[in-house]
């Protein structure tokens, strides 16, 4: 018979804060991510508030989205903010994504309204590739100025006298590729000017400035940005974050792993691929440590998630894919990796929020369905701003063909509610897993929470069968000094340990 895995949760050795911004979302002006997914317009028969879908807002509020990154992505470096304000919008071609007509009906004021309705902070990506420093200055002034300037008055005329808060400000996007094909030296020259001249106009609410970072495990870009920061930062130039983009793409480009109807081998390979996030963060963080041992600069993983084959019959430029129990496992594993690196990784944005790549929500006209990834984000809410607690265990192994994976992945944290929370992922799709959780430094007599499992690893939620994958209650009781729990095959479980 299978032996139980013993975990020791040591509350006596608290670690870093698991920043709530690790649970951020990315919403790009791409396919149906915004148009249809968020924005339906004020005259739509789909229930909305000022054009923004009520069902989507309600669902997002429940997962306590800390921040939303917008308008891109690659789109950001061809976005001109003046196209999307006021009564007369400029219609453009979305050259980043499918050359479709972009009405710009959803612009800055609509984005800020959406963020406010959801309860999220705004993370704005500036156009460095095809914009100018002056255009970016004007945009930040339009959004944040709290004095009666011409642009603040224009914002008021467009319905928002009070300044908006831009909590995070990205200085370009993937400037090594779609954001302008720059060399590290070309980018750091742009970075110095943008970070020098562009920022919040509201002294009480500065924006965290985030430089473009690497998109692979090559460290030349990170070296260049961190060296620039180390040598030049001071009163006139500073940044607070470095971005990292890393998608789970198995077996080369273009992404071609199906999001539905896949076998166990595809499950195991994709999960093995996603676990590379840990070594990638270690490698890039080591370069950051060299220049910034005090960890002043946050590593911001502002694009991550599974990038799979487009859903057959959809526009491939819209990056639509289904979302299965495999995505739920993948999400939990990545969040756990971020939590283990919480001293350096202080924000992250899954790509993308709605209808694009690894989405929380899928919509089709008036219909909406919540994905297994959504449920993971909901179950992890107690980890937002919680304090990391070490948990030790021997993970065992799950072997399929040539692929060996850990059988168990676990993190623990002391929540803001004072409770100790434990997240346990059983990676093995064939065997339930017994665990015994022993508490060090606190009292635990039972565990209560939820587990997300599915009939198969490729099970999905559809508009017709919206809750095939859904969490259900799980509890465990004290036996021989440890809490005993049985984790279903291929499941994500989050429990609080009760005294
Ligand atoms: O999320 C899709 C795209 O992936 C983004 O626009 C870009 O930044 C990345 O390459």
pLDDT surpassing 70 at residue 1: no
- Residue identifier of the C-alpha nearest atom 7 of ligand 1: 73
CA 72 to ligand 1 centroid distance, Å? 7
pLDDT for the residue 414: 97
Task: For residue 108, give both structure tokens.
Answer: 């800055």
Mean pLDDT of the region 418-439: 97
Count of other CB atoms within 10 angstroms of residue 77: 22
User: Which class does domain 20-384 fall in?
Assistant: alpha beta
Backbone dihedral angles phi then psi of residue 89, each to the nearest 5 degrees: -95, 150
Ligand 1 centre from 245 Cα, in Å? 8
**Burial zone of 251 (CB within 10 Å; 0-12 exposed, 13-18 middle, 19+ buried):** exposed
Q: Which atom of ligand 1 is nearest to the CA of 26?
A: 1
**pLDDT, mean of residues 278-288:** 98
List, chain by chain if needed, residues with CB within 6 Å of any ligand 1 atom: 28, 72-74, 173-174, 303, 351-352, 357
CA-to-CA distance for 201 and 136, rounded, in angstroms? 12
How many whole angstroms from 252 Cα to the centroid of ligand 1? 16
Out of 110, 121, 174, 190, the active site residue is 174
In testing the pocket of ligand 1, which one of 246, 249, 351, 354 has its CB within 8 Å of the most ligand atoms? 351
- Dist. CA 255–CA 247, nearest whole Å: 10
Instruction: List, in sequence order, every beta strand (DSSP E) within 75-231.
Output: 92-94, 100-102, 121-126, 166-171, 208-211
Q: What are the pLDDT digits (tens) for 20-70?
A: 999 999 999 999 999 999 999 999 999 999 999 999 999 999 999 999 999
Reference 219, options 175, 173, 184; nearest CA is 184
User: Which of 78, 173, 180, 319 has most ligand 1 atoms within 8 Å of CB, for mutation?
Assistant: 173
According to DSSP, residue 175 is labeled T
Catalytic annotation present for 174: yes
What CATH class does 5-11+388-498 carry?
Answer: mainly beta
For residue range 164-202, what is the model confidence (pLDDT) as tens digits?
A: 999 999 999 999 999 999 999 999 999 999 999 999 999
User: What pLDDT is recorded for position 3?
Assistant: 84
Domain boundaries, given as residue ranges, for the chain: 5-11+388-498, 20-384
Task: Indicate which residue's Cα is closest to atom 2 of ligand 1.
Answer: 73
Give CA 353 to chain center in angstroms: 8
Based on the residue annotation, tell me whether 264 is a catalytic residue of this protein: no
468-486 residue pLDDT tens: 999 999 999 999 999 999 9
Question: Ligand 1 centre from 73 Cα, in Å?
Answer: 5
Q: Which atom of ligand 1 is nearest the CA belonging to 303?
A: 1
State the number of CA atoms in the 13 A half-sphere of 160 facing the CB.
20
CA of 192 to the centre of ligand 1 (A): 24
């Amino acid at each position: 018979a299978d032996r139980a895995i013993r975990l020791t949760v040591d509350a006596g050795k608290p670690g870093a804060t698991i920043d709530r911004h690790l649970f951020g979302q990315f919403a790009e002006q791409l396919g149906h991510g915004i148009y249809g997914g968020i924005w339906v317009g004020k005259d739509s028969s789909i229930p909305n508030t000022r054009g923004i879908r009520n069902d989507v807002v309600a669902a997002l509020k429940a997962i306590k989205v800390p921040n939303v990154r917008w308008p891109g992505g690659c789109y950001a470096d061809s976005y001109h903010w003046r196209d999307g304000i006021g009564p007369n919008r400029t219609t453009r071609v979305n050259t980043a994504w499918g050359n479709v007509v972009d009405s710009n009906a959803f612009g800055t004021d609509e984005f800020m309204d959406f963020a406010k309705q959801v309860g999220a902070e705004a993370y704005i990506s500036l156009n460095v590739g095809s914009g100018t420093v002056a255009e970016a200055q004007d945009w930040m002034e339009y959004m944040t100025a709290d004095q009666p300037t011409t642009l603040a008055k224009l914002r008021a005329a467009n319905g928002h006298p009070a300044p908006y808060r831009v909590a995070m400000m990205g200085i370009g996007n993937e400037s090594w590729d779609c954001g302008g094909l720059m060399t590290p030296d070309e980018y750091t020259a742009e970075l110095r000017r943008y970070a020098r001249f562009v920022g919040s106009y509201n002294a009480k609410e500065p924006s965290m400035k985030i430089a473009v970072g690497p998109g692979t495990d090559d460290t030349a870009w990170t070296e260049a940005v961190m060296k620039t920061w180390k040598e030049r930062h001071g009163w006139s130039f500073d940044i607070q974050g470095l971005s990292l983009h890393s998608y789970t793409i198995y077996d080369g480009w273009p992404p071609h792993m199906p999001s539905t109807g896949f076998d166990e081998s595809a499950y195991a390979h994709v999960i093995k691929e996603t676990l590379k996030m840990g070594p990638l963060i270690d490698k890039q963080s080591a370069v950051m440590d060299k220049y910034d041992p005090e960890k002043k600069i946050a590593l911001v993983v502002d694009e991550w998630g599974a990038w799979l084959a487009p859903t057959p019959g959809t526009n491939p430029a819209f990056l639509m894919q289904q979302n299965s129990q495999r995505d739920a496992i993948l999400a939990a594993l990545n969040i756990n990796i971020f939590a283990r690196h919480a001293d350096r990784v202080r924000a992250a944005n899954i790509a993308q929020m709605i209808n694009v790549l690894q989405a929380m929500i899928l919509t089709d006209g008036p219909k909406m369905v919540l994905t297994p990834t959504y449920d993971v984000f909901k179950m992890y809410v107690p980890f937002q701003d919680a304090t990391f607690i070490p948990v030790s265990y021997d993970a065992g192994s799950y072997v399929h063909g040539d692929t060996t994976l850990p059988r168990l992945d676990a993190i623990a944290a002391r929540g803001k509610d004072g409770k100790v929370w434990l997240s346990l992922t059983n990676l093995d799709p064939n065997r339930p897993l017994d665990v015994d959780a022993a508490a060090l430094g606190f009292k635990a007599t039972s565990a209560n929470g939820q587990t997300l499992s599915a009939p198969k690893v490729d099970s999905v939620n559809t508009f017709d069968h919206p809750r095939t994958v859904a969490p259900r209650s799980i509890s465990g009781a004290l036996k021989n000094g440890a809490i005993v729990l049985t984790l279903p095959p291929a499941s994500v479980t989050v429990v609080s340990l009760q005294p």
